[in-house]
Amino acid sequence: MATRIERDSMGEMEVPATALYGAQTARAMINFPISGIRFPRPLLRALGQIKEQAAFVNRELGLLDDKIALAVMDAAAEVVEGRLDEHFPLDIFQTGSGTSSNMNANEVIANRAAQLLDQKIGDKTIHPNDHVNLGQSSNDVIPTAIHLAAAAEIVDALLPALQQMQKLLIDKATAFDDIIKIGRTHLQDATPVRLGQVFGGYSQQLELVIAELKRAVEGLSELPLGGTAVGTGINTHPNFAGKVIERIAAINKLPLREASDHFAAQGGKEAIVAASGALKTTAVALFKIGNDIRHLGSGPRCGIGELKLPAVQPGSSIMPGKVNPVMAESLMQVCSQVIGHDATIALGGLSGNFELNVMMPVMAHNLLESIRLLGNGVTQFCVQCLEGLEANRERCGELVEQSLAMCTALAPGIGYDQAADIAKEAFKSGQTVREVARQKKVLPEDELDKILDPYPMTEPGIPGKTR
C-alpha cells in the first residue's frame, strides 16, 4: 500500500496515501484495534455539523480567514452528508474523552479542505488544530456531539416509531372494545375485562414513556460546547459557543442551548444517564406489551389463544405447520439489550474524574445503539405484528364463561364465603359458576343472569346493584 508521512507533536507516522486522516488517527488505529465497532453515522453527522458551524462562526468573529473557513465548511459538510465515512476508522474503545475521534474529524476535514483548495494533503495548509478545532477541545466537542446525535435520533427516529405504535394500539383498543375476555392476575384467572381496555392500557404505557423521552431530549439539548478543556472556556471567543449552538439548533429543529454550568456539563454526564434511563423505561414497557401479546396469542389450540398473531415465517425446522410469535420475541430481545446498554452507561456516568468524564465513547455507542435498536424493533413489530393482529372473539367468550372468577360478582349479594364455595364446587365438578349457582338457587334466575353478565363487570360498580 502506498503511504505518505504525516507529523504530529510526537513525530512522524506513515499513513495510507489516499487516507484523509493523519498521524493522530494512525496512532489511535495502532493503539485501539479492540472491537471493530466504529462510531455510528449519527455521531459523525453531529461532529461534522459542529465543525462546519464552528468554522462559520470563527469566520464571522474574524478569527478565521475567509478562504480557509469556506474550505473547512465545505469539507465538514461532506462529513455531515456521510461522503467521508470511510476515513473514520477508529474503534469506540479508545481514549475516554474521545480525543482520538475528535482529532480524526479534525484531520479528515483539514485534509479534505486542502484538497478542495488544490493543496497537497498532509502539508497542514489547513491545520487540524489551529483551524478546524479553533475554539474547541475534545472535552467539549465530543459530549456536545453525543448530546446532539442522541437528541436528533430520539426526535427523528424513535419518537415517530413509538407514536405510530401508540396509534395502532389505540386503533386496536377501539376495534376490540366490545370483546369481553378474562383478566389475569398472578397468571391466574381474574375478573373480566374488555380487550379494548387492555390495549388502551398498552397505549397509555407508551404515552408515559414518550413523555419521559421528551424530557430526556430537553436534558440532552443543553450542550457543553464552549467549556473547552476543563470548563473555563480558555482559548475560545466568549460568543463562539452561543452562536454555533444557535446555528446547529436551527438546522436540527431542536431546542439546543449552551450549558448553564460548563463544569457540570463536562465533569458529569447526568443528561446521558437520564436519557439512557428513559430508553430503559421504554424497553421495560415494550417488553411487557410484546410479552403479553405473545402469551395471549399462544396456541393455536392448546394455549390461551385470545389473539391471532400474523404468521410471518415457519416456526420450526422439525414441526410442520408450526408458527411462532417471532416479532414479539425479537422485540423482547431488543429490550433486553437496551437494558444491558443502560448498565454500561450508568457505569460510564459515574466515571467522571474531576473536570472530565473518561468513558464517553462507550457511553455514546451504547446510547445511540439503544435508540437505533428500539426504533427499528418497534417499527418492525408494528408492521409485522400489530397491523395484522386480530382478536379471537369466540375463544375470549368461552374462557370468560369458564372462569371461576365469575363468582366475584356474586360476593356482594350472597357473601364471600358462599361465593367461594360455589367456585370450589364448580372447579371440582367441571361446571361453570353460572351452572352451580343456578343449581343451588342462590338467587332468582333473572337476578342471577343480571349479576353474571360479564360486560358490567368491566366497569366500576357493584354487579346487580349500582353502576
Structure confidence at residue 466 as a pLDDT band (50, 70, 90): low
Tell me: pLDDT of 85 over 60: yes
Q: Within its chain, how far is the Cα of 341 from the centroid?
A: 11
Average pLDDT, integer, range 283-299: 98
Planar angle of CA 428, 434, 437, nearest 5 degrees? 75
Catalytic residue among 9, 101, 186, 330: 186
**Residue 261: other Cβ atoms inside 10 A:** 13
Over residues 134-147, the pLDDT tens digits come to: 999 999 999 999 99
Q: Does 127 participate in catalysis according to the annotation?
A: no
- pLDDT at res. 465: 75
Q: Give the Cα separation of 293 and 202 in Å (integer).
A: 10
Tell me: pLDDT of 461 over 80: yes
Q: Give the Cα separation of 297 and 294 in Å (integer).
A: 5
The candidate with the shortest Cα–Cα distance to 239, out of 249, 229, 225, 221, is 225
164-191 CB burial, b ≥16 within 10 A, e <16: bbbebbbebbeebeebbbbbbeeeebeb
- Tell me the pairing of strands 222-223 and 188-194: unpaired
Over residues 223-248, the pLDDT tens digits come to: 999 999 999 999 999 999 999 999 99
19-44 CB burial, b ≥16 within 10 A, e <16: bbbbbbbbbbbeebeeeeebbbebbb
Domains of the chain listed by start with CATH number: 3-134 (1.10.275.10), 140-394 (1.20.200.10), 403-458 (1.10.40.30)
- pLDDT at res. 464: 74
Average pLDDT, integer, range 358-385: 98
Catalytic residue among 316, 330, 341, 365: 316
- Three-state DSSP class for residue 307: strand
- pLDDT at res. 372: 98
- Tell me the pairing of strands 188-194 and 356-357: unpaired
- The enclosing H or E element of 42 equals helix 41-60
By the 10 Å C-beta count (0-12 exposed, 13-18 middle, 19+ buried), 63 is classed as middle
